[in-house]
Amino acid sequence: MVTNTPATRPANPRFSSGPCAKPPTWTLNALSDAPVGRSHRAVIGKAKLRAAIDGTREVLGIPDDYRIGIVPASDTGAFEMAMWSLLGERPVQMVAWESFGAGWVTDVVKQLKIEASTHVAEYGQSVDMAALDYDQDVCFTWNGTTSGVRVASGDVIPADREGLTLCDATSAAFAQDLPWGKLDVTTFSWQKVMGGEAAHGVLVLSPRAVERLESYTPAWPLPKIFRLTKGGKLIEGIFTGATINTPSMLCVEDYLFALDWARSVGGLTGLIARANANTKAVADFVELHDWIDFLAQDPATLSNTSVCLKFTDDRIADGAGFAKAVAKRLETEAVAYDIGAYRDAPAGLRIWCGATVQTSDIAALLPWIEWAFEAEIAALAPTA
Ligand SMILES: Cc1ncc(COP(=O)(O)O)c(C=O)c1O
């Protein structure tokens, strides 16, 4: 029987893996400077969009010769726009180790029907990135949000590759070091590590990606929302704040606030340190308890944002039911929202450890997980 509830509750019980917790200093007042009711093409609107692009470059350390665009439809929009615009010029290698990567495989194999080889690993494992042919195009996810497995290092990607690398970095950007020289297309949305709003995607293009856009025209039609070129030339305006269609200036303002907050915690280094500290708190807990483990099998690939856990106690017969019950108990106690594993992933918990989460809140949550685990184990025991 479990009787004692832990003494401390997380001040903020939001541990969702997207949309993620807002920066700790955020209030609705953060949006008070948004130019609402004004055209995004007015001087003030364009200046805000330009500041979002420039701030992204500054905080992430993106090279000056890379283009950064704000595009529609969140990370999905940015990544699909890139695939539809760039792929098909040569064969492609599709890499996946969880559900979002698998979604991009479906796009290429079943929708675009391009000549492709697929490299797929089970949840918890990763694909050997050194074994890929980088003279073909390569599409992959840097951090698998639904398995908690990330790329260990970009060193294996050759600098002198002939193909392009297309990287979905939505749950990695702002929490992990991304090797820009190895990435030709990088996409993310504001809703993850920055605690921003969804709906807008960020598309980062290397000079080689731009070269491909200007020298290759896909065989399929492109809707206006995907079009990055006009008359064979890059539409440069997209990368200076003249968005393809209308953005939400509230979301832009919110992102500008998040960038300021990121600067206040030490920029990228500070953001990474915060995510690492959160993950270490979870790792220390896992180390101390033999009934819980990471889904990621190789510590070198352990995500520091979407940390996925599985229950390993032999007494649990219905893994999915057990994990759901634990998550529900924590939600009912208002100590953790949205920490059940992703619907397509193995049963377990997923705790967002990105930079907007306070380590004190992770520390406060962990005893509650133990409490909920013990309560559910006790509920399994046959009554006398
Ligand atoms: C790796 C990955 N790719 C793509 C997406 C889809 O992102 P969005 O809903 O911002 O388009 C997600 C969302 O969680 C994700 O984790």
Per-residue confidence in pLDDT tens, the chain, 384 aa: 555 899 999 999 999 999 999 999 999 999 999 999 999 999 999 999 999 999 999 999 999 999 999 999 999 999 999 999 999 999 999 999 999 999 999 999 999 999 999 999 999 999 999 999 999 999 999 999 999 999 999 999 999 999 999 999 999 999 999 999 999 999 999 999 999 999 999 999 999 999 999 999 999 999 999 999 999 999 999 999 999 999 999 999 999 999 999 999 999 999 999 999 999 999 999 999 999 999 999 999 999 999 999 999 999 999 999 999 999 999 999 999 999 999 999 999 999 999 999 999 999 999 999 999 999 999 997 755
Rounded Cα distance between 5 and 368, Å, is 7
Place of tokens 């030339």: 233
Atom of ligand 1 nearest to the CA of 143: 1
Rounded Cα distance between 288 and 276, Å, is 18
Atom of ligand 1 nearest to the CA of 17: 14
Q: What is the largest CA-CA distance in the chain?
A: 78
pLDDT of the residue at 375: 97
Q: Are the CB atoms for 161 and 205 separated by under 8 Å?
A: no
Whether residue 171 has its Cβ less than 6 Å from ligand 1? yes
Report the residue among 170, 200, 305, 350 best suited for mutation to probe ligand 1: largest number of ligand atoms under 8 A from its CB: 170
Which residue minimizes the CA distance to atom 2 of ligand 1? 100
Whether residue 265 has its Cβ less than 6 Å from ligand 1? no
- Residue 227 burial (10 A CB sphere; 0-12, 13-18, 19+): middle
* 142 CA distance to ligand 1 middle (Å): 12
Whether residue 75 has its Cβ less than 6 Å from ligand 1? yes
Q: Are the CB atoms for 174 and 143 separated by under 8 Å?
A: no
Which residues, including other chains, have CB under 8 Å from residue 84's CB and lie 6 or more apart?
112, 218, 220, 222, 226
pLDDT of the residue at 238: 98
**Would you say the pTM of this structure is higher than 0.75?**
yes
Rounded Cα distance between 341 and 348, Å, is 5
* 119 CA distance to ligand 1 middle (Å): 20
Place of tokens 């229950």: 311
Rounded Cα distance between 36 and 363, Å, is 39
Q: Are the CB atoms for 159 and 254 separated by under 8 Å?
A: no
- Please report, as a single letter, which amino acid is at residue 246: T
Whether residue 170 has its Cβ less than 6 Å from ligand 1? yes
Whether residue 100 has its Cβ less than 6 Å from ligand 1? yes
DSSP class of residue 195?
-
Atom of ligand 1 nearest to the CA of 201: 10
Whether residue 187 has its Cβ less than 6 Å from ligand 1? no
Which residue minimizes the CA distance to atom 16 of ligand 1? 145
Rounded Cα distance between 310 and 314, Å, is 12
pLDDT of the residue at 2: 57
Task: Show the tokens assigned to 23.
Answer: 């920066």
Beta strands at 92-96 and 306-311: parallel, antiparallel or unpaired: unpaired
DSSP class of residue 31?
G
Q: What residues pair up with 70 in beta bridges, in sequence order?
A: 202
Helix (H, G, I), strand (E, B) or coil at 379: helix
Task: Show the tokens assigned to 73.
Answer: 């439809």
Closest listed residue to residue 69, CA positions, set 295, 230, 245: 245
Rounded Cα distance between 342 and 307, Å, is 12
pLDDT of the residue at 381: 76
Residue 288 CA: distances (Å) to CA of 6, 8, 239, 242, 279 = 17, 20, 48, 52, 14
DSSP class of residue 86?
H
* 95 CA distance to ligand 1 middle (Å): 16
* 291 CA distance to ligand 1 middle (Å): 30
Whether residue 176 has its Cβ less than 6 Å from ligand 1? no
* 243 CA distance to ligand 1 middle (Å): 21
Report the residue among 17, 94, 99, 145 best suited for mutation to probe ligand 1: largest number of ligand atoms under 8 A from its CB: 145
Closest listed residue to residue 330, CA positions, set 20, 1, 15, 18: 15
Task: Show the tokens assigned to 205.
Answer: 């293009």
Atom of ligand 1 nearest to the CA of 18: 14
- Please report, as a single letter, which amino acid is at residue 46: K
* 75 CA distance to ligand 1 middle (Å): 6
Closest listed residue to residue 147, CA positions, set 18, 19, 296: 296
The length of the chain is 384
Angle between helices 43-60 and 267-288 (to 10 degrees): 60
* 100 CA distance to ligand 1 middle (Å): 7
* 166 CA distance to ligand 1 middle (Å): 15
Which residue minimizes the CA distance to atom 14 of ligand 1? 18
Q: Are the CB atoms for 68 and 114 separated by under 8 Å?
A: no
Beta strands at 165-168 and 137-141: parallel, antiparallel or unpaired: parallel
Report the residue among 74, 142, 192 best suited for mutation to probe ligand 1: largest number of ligand atoms under 8 A from its CB: 74
Whether residue 140 has its Cβ less than 6 Å from ligand 1? no
Q: Is the dihedral of CA 311, 142, 133, 95 positive or negative?
A: positive
Q: Are the CB atoms for 92 and 115 separated by under 8 Å?
A: yes
Residue 125 CA: distances (Å) to CA of 27, 38, 295, 300, 353 = 39, 48, 8, 11, 20
